[in-house]
């Protein structure tokens, strides 16, 4: 409980524009079977994110062919994602992975910190998009939102200059989402999980999704 497939369908019905899952080898957040079950029913964007060097990730992504795969360098020991890729050090490995997924018709996004050099490194891999890791923005938002968002604006400008699509995620919520959306040029997509579910406990799932869409101007 709740039924995962029904919940995903309800999220779409309530206005969500995509469903994201993040499988890990220990299946603590999502089971591999859930990915196959969701593939059969999701009609909006389907995004599978995770570490492509662990477990059955590549196999499962290629078997389900989601709209997008987001490559995240989190280790099994991590409670949650805590850093973007070093797209320079791991460039050759990422190039191979990007090509593997793109050859299967899957759009690729690489999880990166808001660093222009990491954006440039991502471009060199051939990826379609980058996902900006927004924890530092969320942490600094209440203290100095202009300072917190400054590196993200620079990173987004570099991504736009290089022709990369821009996604974002991690610790975005109803308090900080609108300001981020208003200030990041070319922002295409945000992934929000934990905060949305926390809000839904108090506000209800349908209402919460509508509130997040409103923060994005939808």
Indicate which residue of 12, 22, 131, 215 is catalytic.
Answer: 22
d(CA 141, CA 87): 26
Strands 107-112 and 165-169, bridge-based pairing: unpaired
Of 51-55, 74-78, 89-93, 94-98, minimum mean pLDDT range? 74-78
Tell me whether residue 131 is one of the annotated catalytic residues.
no
**Average of per-residue pLDDT values in the chain:** 95
Indicate which residue of 49, 131, 189, 215 is catalytic.
Answer: 49
Indicate which residue of 12, 131, 170, 189 is catalytic.
Answer: 170
Q: What is the model's pLDDT at position 119?
A: 98
Q: What is the model's pLDDT at position 177?
A: 98
Tell me whether residue 194 is one of the annotated catalytic residues.
no
d(CA 73, CA 112): 9
163 has a pLDDT exceeding 90: yes
Question: How do residues 76-94 score in pLDDT, each as one tens digit?
Answer: 555 455 689 999 999 999 9
Nearest to 73, CA basis, from 111, 129, 22, 21: 111
Query: Do 152 and 184 form a contact (C-beta atoms < 8 A)?
Result: yes
Tell me whether residue 49 is one of the annotated catalytic residues.
yes
């Amino acid at each position: 409980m709740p039924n995962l497939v029904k919940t995903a369908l309800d999220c779409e019905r309530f206005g969500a524009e995509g469903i994201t899952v993040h499988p890990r080898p220990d299946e603590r957040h999502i089971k591999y079977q859930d990915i196959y079950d969701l593939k059969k029913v999701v009609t909006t964007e389907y995004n599978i994110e995770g570490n492509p060097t662990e477990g059955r990730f590549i196999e499962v992504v290629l078997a389900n062919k989601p709209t997008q795969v987001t490559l995240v360098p989190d280790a099994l020991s991590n409670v949650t994602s805590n850093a973007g890729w070093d797209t320079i050090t791991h460039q050759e490995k990422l190039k191979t992975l990007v090509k593997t997924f793109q050859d299967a018709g899957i759009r690729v996004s690489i999880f990166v910190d808001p660093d222009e050099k990491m954006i440039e490194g991502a471009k060199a891999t051939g990826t379609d998009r980058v996902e900006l890791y927004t924890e530092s923005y969320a942490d600094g938002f209440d203290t100095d939102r202009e300072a917190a968002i400054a590196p993200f604006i620079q990173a987004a400008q570099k991504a736009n200059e290089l022709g990369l699509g821009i996604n974002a995620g991690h610790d975005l919520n109803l308090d900080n989402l609108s300001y981020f959306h208003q200030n990041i040029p070319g922002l295409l997509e945000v992934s929000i999980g934990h905060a949305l579910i926390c809000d839904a406990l108090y506000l209800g799932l349908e209402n919460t999704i509508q509130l997040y869409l409103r923060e994005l101007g939808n």
